[in-house]
Amino acid sequence: MRVTVKGQVTIPQDIRKKLGITPGCEVVFKEDKGRVYLVKAKTQGRKNRHFRRLRGIATVKMTTDEIMALTRGEK
């Protein structure tokens, strides 16, 4: 694996899948006894946990335009 001039590396896909690292995830580098470890930050789960629980449970069958019209008070 090669490091770019900006200090970037590509995390292999199998590692990303195993750790659940998706675009936008925060990761942390930890050093221990001369070794460096990449760890998925725990803050990601806390941020979206409430919304993830609610995803897909809406029962209203309205288009986005209809919802926006309601929020704007349009008739």
Domain boundaries defined on the chain: 13-72
Say how far apart CA 51 and CA 61 lie, in whole Å: 19
Confidence bin at 44 (pLDDT 50/70/90): very low
- Look at residue 43 in the predicted model and tell me its pLDDT: 62
The pLDDT value given to residue 4: 96
Tell me the whole-structure pTM to 2 decimals.
Answer: 0.49
pLDDT in tens, 2-29: 999 999 999 999 999 998 888 888 899 9
> What average pLDDT does this structure show over 34-40?
92
Q: What is the pLDDT of residue 61?
A: 85
